[in-house]
Structures are given as structure tokens and as C-alpha cells.
Structure 1
Amino acid sequence: MERRPNSRLRALLAEAAWSNEQCARAVNAVGAEIGLVLRYDRTSVAHWLSGTQPRPPVPHLVAETFSRRLGRVMTPVAVGFAHSAPAVEPDRRAGPCTAPAPAVRTLGSLAGHDADPVERTALAGEPYRALGAPPHWPEGGGTGRRGAGRRELARVGVAEVDLLRGAVRHFAAAMDVHGGGHARPALAHYLADTATTWLHAPGDDRTHRQLGTQSAYLVFILARMHSDMGCHGIAQRYLHLALDLAHEVQDRAAWAITLRAMAAQALHLEHRRTARQYAQAAVDALPAHVGDAVRAFALAQLAVTQAALGERDAALAVLSRAEDHGRRAGVGDPFGDYPSGALSFQKAEVHRELGDLRAAARALHRSTRERPAHDRRGLALTLARRTELLLRSGRIGEACEVGHQFLEAGGGLRSHSVVTAVRTMRGSLEPLARHPSVRALLERERSLG
């Protein structure tokens, strides 16, 4: 097949005022957000300009790169890559929909593909899409009712709602105990099969609202699992879907919780202003009746994003409000409580972003003590952050002691976040390798690798 020069890509490079090298670096950076190590350079872009088609998921990464640069949504076809259809057509919205969407049908399709190991690999290559302001809560919308006329299905009721609640507790605990890579296929299959069947089955409006809320929480957990494994593009799609489900059943608390997660994801990927917008939108969306735990959860993330932008006074004031609500919060429900250890970690993040390493270290020490025994992933990441801050503060011996605790806590976890934290710790330790404690910690890390 004859190759034709890619005139569309050439025109976009001119519009973006990019050299081939600058374009290549930007594509590498977008790939790094989803855990891909790409080493494209100016010659790679020259090959694309001559008509070479890169392998998936690179065409979608290139499209996202130009979307960010030019401020409009681009597709692989728009950048001159004509044969780049993914296993599942991506959601091209800049943000979640502002009108009711067939979220249950979308859930069945997306989760069904995700449950397949081959197609899951293709989904993992989707880029994180950085365009789009946070949505406002849409007026009107779904009733939560599904499956009118589907009399071939058994009627759903309290038993099905209780089973979905139990699934939420089970998969949330699996994430904490084993990491995001442990139960992803099982949860995707459960959503594609059991949850969607019940959402389509006949039942009263109250039942379907409750089923929709619990399904939104399960989608939220699956998004966190993917994010924990570095698959931020597909995680973002699931978060958009959780928003749609929350709107269809008119659950503003679930909507706000999901916006808060989107803020955390954006901040993790260094999209700080976007993170700040989503965190504020989450707080603004909270219904008046929401409990103290959910309010503390949203406010704590807003404080972190404010601190990340240098808004010191605002961040400390919002953090104080989060702590007030946290002290009054209950316990026992994955989406109805906010563990004190998690809140202390967010407090540490606020102080770290503001440059107060001593206050951050104190909050992290408290977070370590407060983490429940089953939260192995949370404990490991807290210890990793403590190690980082102690090294930055020059407290090498203490940092190494905590580093050993981190390696112990992180052992056996299937978590890209933990793997990344180990690599970061190694990079910080290697320049200090002459120190006996550092050398011992590095040797232990290598023996575990």
C-alpha cells in the first residue's frame, strides 16, 4: 500500500508552532500519564509526516496531545491517522454529559470489553483527556427507572439492593488490601453481567434509584482500580460514567464524590488548575443533607488543590473546615465515612504543597498510626511519602527506618502506584548510597525486585 505524506499532521504542527522534537516530547509526556515509556524524537515525527502509521495506542496519544495544545478535541483521523479505531469507541466528550445518557447500556458495553483480557489491554492504552471544565449538576434528568416492559426478567427489590451494597464493600476492601490490580476483571464482569441485568429489570423507582447509586459506586471503585494501575484514560471514562449514573438516579452526593475523584486524578497528573476547578465543583455540588464524612472528603481535596496552586490562606481555612467535619464523621460505610488516617494524609499533602515539611511529616506520622489494619495500600503509600519527606529534610537514618516499613507494607500489593513509589524512593536513595543505612535499604529493595 502506497504511503502518502501526512498533510494534516504537518498543518497541525504549523498551527501549534511546534517543531518535530517538541511534538515528540509532548506525545511522550501524554503516554507517561498512562504508564507508557515512549522514546519518540524528531525522526519519529518525520516518519509520521512521510505517511508512517504508528501502532495503537499512539495515534490516540497524538490526537490528545494536539487537543491540549490547540484547545479543541482532536481524533486520530483529524491528525492524519486513518486506521486507528480502538476496541471500544472512546467517549469524545470534553466532560461528562449535561443531559440524561443511556448510562446503563454504556456500562454494559464498556465493562464487558474490560472483562476481556485482550480488549482490556487496548483500553489501557487510552490517553487521559485533559480538556473540559467540570459540569454543573443538570436540572431534570432520569428517574432511575429501568426496564419497563422487560417482563422476562425477574423483578428486583430489597435483596438485589443489599447484594450490590455488599459488592461495594467487598470490592472497596479488595482495593485496600490487595491494590488496584487484584480484582479489576472480576468487578468489570460483575458490572457487565449482574449489575446491568438488575438495572434493566422491572422494579419500583426507589429500588432502581438505590441500584443506580450502588452501581455508580462500583464504577467509581473500578475507576480507582484502573487509576491505581496507571491506566488513567480508562479510569477517566469510568468516572464520567459514574457521573452519568449518579445523574440518572438524581444522587447529588455520588455526583460530588465522583467529581472529587476526578480532581484527585487531575492533580496526580499535574493538571493543577483543572484539579482545582473539579475540587471546587465537587464542594459546590454537595447537597445540603450530605453527611460530615462526605463533606470532609470533598473539602480535604479542595484544600490540597488550593495548596498546589499556592493559595495558602484559602487552603488552610478549607482544611480546618474539613477537619471539623471529619471529627463528627461516622464509620463503617465505604461511601459514608472518611477514615481519619486518610484525612491526615490529605492534611500532610496540604502542608507539603505549601512547603511546610515539618507539619507534613507530623501529619503523615499520625496517618500511619490511624490507618486501619486492612488498608495495606494506604499504609504503604503513606510510608512512602514519609520516607520522601524525611530524606528531603536530611533525616537519613529515620528515613531508612520508614523505608523498610514501606517495603514491608507494600509487599505483595498489585499496585502501579506502589511500584512507582518504590522507584521514586530508589532514585532518591542512590545518590546517598555510601551511607550504611541507605546501602542496606537499597540492597533490600533490590532483593525484593
Structure 2
Amino acid sequence: MTRAPKQRNERLRDAIRECAWSYDACACAVRAVARENGEALFSCDRSHVGHWVAGVKPSGSTARYLAEAISRRLGRVADPACLGLLRGDSLEPDLDGLDWWGHAPAIDLLTVGRADLERRAFGLTALYSLAALAVPLESWQEIADRGRRAQGGNVAVGPREIDAVRDMLTVFSTADERFGGGHARLAVVQYLTSDVAGFLQGRFSSDRDRVAMFSAAAEMTYLAGWKAFDSSLHGLAQRYYVQSLRLANEADDRALAGFTLRAMAHQAVDLGHGQEALQLANSSIEWSKGRTTPAATALFTIVSARGHGATGDSTRTSAAIRAAEAHLADASPDDEPTWIRTSGFTETSLASQAGQALRDLGDLPAAEAQLRRSIATRDTEAYRRTHTLTLANLADVQCAQGRLRGAVENWNRAMDAMAGVQSGRASAAVKNIRTRLGSLGARLPSFAKRLDQRAAAFAKGTTTGGQVTP
């Protein structure tokens, strides 16, 4: 019995032509999306693309990486089905196709949260999508009004329930800063999908209570997104961020929405999407204008500096850093919203972000000065994860300037601070140590070799114990 020949995938071929890609360029774009989502497709090359066009179905998540790469190139959504990439006419649902702005946010929050809790692979396979960054800012009021008309469940919700959510938020946020995003991440999701989602569908005695509950829920959902982001689950983090934005929209809380847009900008710039990060950061500033406080404005502005740094605009980077510092100088901590106080945004955090913006710009001496300033003023026990990452960034900048001994000393300090911290970003910082040292060749000094061995042991889930001193 002869096997039926594969049918050539004309839709994929046409899409690649519309992208004006060679097969090599297509493979490079797929590898970039895969890398962004935590998978290294080193072997993906032009021959794979040729096989896909010939009718071979991509394996694993590759079909979705390919569809995302094409979507980015064309500026419109091109899903796997439209590209003829499905095997057996189906992929495991990944929630990419849902119209997040067309349904009740409590229902969609349940959809995402339950998928996170019940489908073990969901957090790993949910893709980060540039298309999902298109937030309908112009429809804010219409969407908020529609949500208010839809309220009215069976649970009576008032100040006590609102206080309960805020108390839990404080507990979870404090633990997150000390122990990292991987600590109690699913506990936050469980609380969201049980208590919080129930409250959102309840009966409110006043619109004031409804607004307060939706704002508290938006903060808790933001925290779920932040914890996923810190765990390097970028597609999942993006879905929680969108839900947080929608809940802030229901509360007509533009300042809190700006806070979430700022987080989305932070994620975008960390993933290498400088222009998109800049657009999101600018949206956070514009959307919250007249509704927010000096420290919040400073936070949104310093993230715009990171966008300018990533896009190579030195003049606007410097101007944004100065503007952020001026806004923060006008802040009164007691007058700031809970999400500013909980996140610990101060001069210390601003300096860390400024250092990263200047690093991306290539101004390494100025970046080092800002990062040192951040380290010197931080409460290292309360903000252990951030302290760890700032030390690692400082070491990276020192290494790039050829000062290996100082870099190794600070990388060792960073690894000391990582004890007990469950963070994908911290793990990525350790991986970067090995990459940096590996790029220097085999003739490393002994103190650098010892650090490399320590980083290798960490990557295997073990520790060598104690600090490796140069």
C-alpha cells in the first residue's frame, strides 16, 4: 500500500512570500520567537522551512512560533489554522483567539486561571504575542460602561470582602519580593479563581464598593502576571496583564491601568521589543495623565527611558531619566497608591531602571554609577530578588568594560543573595554568567573558573555552598 503524497502548503508559501523572507530569514524569525518563549530551536534552518512548505507539519510548539513570527512581520494575526499548519485540524487550545475585550472580565479571568491551574503545560506553551499588546485605549469608557451594566450575582460584596482581598495582596506581595515569583505563584492564582472571581460576580451595595473590589482584583491579577513574568512564563504573564488591565478598566482606574501598561512595557523591553515597550510606556503616561501621583508618573517615565535606551535615542533617554527623578522628588510616600508602596518604587528602584536604560544605550560608565547607587540604598532583605538582579546587572556592565575581577565579585554576591529565591530571571542571570565567561575563551583566571563552576552547579539545581572569592 503506497503512502499518499503530502499536499504542498500553498498558504504557508504565500505568507512567506508576502513577508519577503528567504527560507533562512523565516527560520531565523522562528528561532527568535522560540527563544523568547524559553525554547532553543538551534537546529531550525532553511531545510525545515522547505519541508513545512512541502506539507510536513511542524512538531511541538513550532507551528505556533511560526504563526507568531509571520504575524509580527505582516502586522496582522496569522494563526496556525490560516497557515495550514494544524495536524489533525487541531492544536491544544492556547486561548490566543479569545476576544479579551468582548466578554465579562471575571469570566475571562476564570478561563485563564483555571487553564493555568488545571493544564500543566499551559504556562509553558502560552506564547508571548505582539498582537496582544494592542490595547483599545479609545474604547475605555464604552467598555467600562458595558461592564457596570452586567453586574449582579448572588454574593453580597462590601467593605469586608474588599479588605480581605487587600490583606491577602499585601501578604502575597511581601513574599514575592523576598522569595521570587515562583514562590506561591499558584496560590495567588487559586485565590483569584476562587474568592476573587466570586466577589467580582457578586452584588454590590454601591458603585463605590464595586470600583474598590475591581481595583483590588486588578492589583491581585497584576501580581499573578508579575509572578509569571518573574518565572519566565512570558505568554502566561501577558494574559494576566491583559486581565489586570481589563479589571482596572471596569473600575475606571486609569492610574492602576497605567501601572499594568508599565509592566507590559517592562516585559517587552526585556524581551527585546524596544519600540513596542516605548509605545506601551508612553501609553501608561498618557492614559493616566491627571489621574495619578508623582511617584507613579516617575515609574511610568523611567520605563519610557528604557524604551528610548533600547531604541538608541540617547537624548530622550537622558531627558526621561531627569524627568523621572524630578517627578519622584515631588512625591509624598503617604499619598501614593498602594501599588506604588507595595512595589517599593523609590529612588533605589529608579536608579536600577536608569542603569538598565543606560546599559542598553551603551553608556556603560553612567550605567554602572546608577546601578551602584541602587545597590547602596536598597533594603536587601525586603527586596532580595531585585537586589540579586541589580548585582547581576552591575557585574554584566563591569564585564563589558573589561573589569573581570570586579564583575566576578558582584556575580558571586548576586548568587549569594539568590539563596531561597525562586525566580526565572535570577536563573537567567546565572545562565548569562556562563555565557559571558564562555565568550572569554579557555584561558580564564582561576577566580573566574571557580565562579563558572559555581554557576554550572546552580544550573543543575545544586549549590557549592559559600561564596567563591576572587
Distance 1:68 1:147, change over 3 A: closer
Deviations 1:274-317 (A, max 9, x none): 11111111111114241222111101111221222232222222
Given that 1:348 and 1:360 are in contact with CA atoms closer than 8 Å, whether structure 2 keeps it comes out as: yes
Question: Which letter maps to 2:59?
Answer: R
Q: Indicate the residue corresponding to 2:24 in structure 1.
A: 21
Q: Indicate the residue corresponding to 2:358 in structure 1.
A: 351
Given that 1:10 and 1:49 are in contact with CA atoms closer than 8 Å, whether structure 2 keeps it comes out as: yes
Corresponding position: 1:384 with 2:386: no
Q: Indicate the residue corresponding to 1:63 in structure 2.
A: 67
The DSSP-based 3-state class of the residue aligned with 1:267 is: helix
Q: Indicate the residue corresponding to 1:413 in structure 2.
A: 421
> In the TM superposition, what is the alpha-carbon distance from 1:149 to its structure 2 partner?
4.9
What is the rounded CA distance, in whole Å, between the counterparts of 2:190 and 2:218 in structure 1? 15
Distance 1:198 1:146, change over 3 A: farther
Q: Indicate the residue corresponding to 2:91 in structure 1.
A: 85
Q: Indicate the residue corresponding to 1:336 in structure 2.
A: 340
The DSSP-based 3-state class of the residue aligned with 1:80 is: coil
Which residue of 74, 79, 82 maps to 1:75? 79
Question: Which letter maps to 1:85?
Answer: L
Distance 1:400 1:329, change over 3 A: farther
The 5 Å alignment of 1:120-159 reads 120-131=120-131, 133=134, 135-136=136-137, 138-142=140-144, 145=148, 148-151=151-154, 153=155, 155-159=156-160
Q: Indicate the residue corresponding to 2:54 in structure 1.
A: 50
Moved more, 24-33 or 10-19: 10-19
The DSSP-based 3-state class of the residue aligned with 1:139 is: helix
> In the TM superposition, what is the alpha-carbon distance from 1:148 to its structure 2 partner?
5.0
Distance 1:90 1:436, change over 3 A: same
The DSSP-based 3-state class of the residue aligned with 1:414 is: coil
What is the rounded CA distance, in whole Å, between the counterparts of 2:357 and 2:23 in structure 1? 38
**Identical amino acids, percent of aligned pairs:** 30
Q: Indicate the residue corresponding to 2:452 in structure 1.
A: 442
Distance 1:438 1:324, change over 3 A: same
What is the rounded CA distance, in whole Å, between the counterparts of 1:266 and 1:46 in structure 2? 31
Question: Which letter maps to 2:292?
Answer: V
Question: Which letter maps to 2:357?
Answer: V
What is the rounded CA distance, in whole Å, between the counterparts of 2:302 and 2:210 in structure 1? 31
The DSSP-based 3-state class of the residue aligned with 2:37 is: coil
What is the rounded CA distance, in whole Å, between the counterparts of 1:174 and 1:146 in structure 2? 37
Given that 1:146 and 1:208 are in contact with CA atoms closer than 8 Å, whether structure 2 keeps it comes out as: no
Q: Indicate the residue corresponding to 1:160 in structure 2.
A: 161
Please list every run of 5 or more consecutive structure 2 residues that lacks an aligned counterpart in the other structure.
460-470
Q: Indicate the residue corresponding to 1:362 in structure 2.
A: 369
> In the TM superposition, what is the alpha-carbon distance from 1:408 to its structure 2 partner?
0.5
How high is the TM-score relative to the length of structure 1? 0.91
Distance 1:324 1:120, change over 3 A: farther
Moved more, 317-326 or 269-278: 317-326
What is the rounded CA distance, in whole Å, between the counterparts of 2:137 and 2:449 in structure 1? 52
Given that 1:56 and 1:84 are in contact with CA atoms closer than 8 Å, whether structure 2 keeps it comes out as: no
Question: Which letter maps to 2:93?
Answer: A
What is the rounded CA distance, in whole Å, between the counterparts of 2:332 and 2:305 in structure 1? 18
Count of aligned pairs: 441
Q: Indicate the residue corresponding to 1:252 in structure 2.
A: 254
Provide the alpha-carbon RMSD of the alignment. Answer: 2.3
Given that 1:383 and 1:406 are in contact with CA atoms closer than 8 Å, whether structure 2 keeps it comes out as: yes
Question: Which letter maps to 2:273?
Answer: H
> In the TM superposition, what is the alpha-carbon distance from 1:53 to its structure 2 partner?
2.4
Please list every run of 5 or more consecutive structure 1 residues that lacks an aligned counterpart in the other structure.
none
Q: Indicate the residue corresponding to 2:465 in structure 1.
A: none
Moved more, 228-237 or 210-219: 228-237
How high is the TM-score relative to the length of structure 2? 0.87
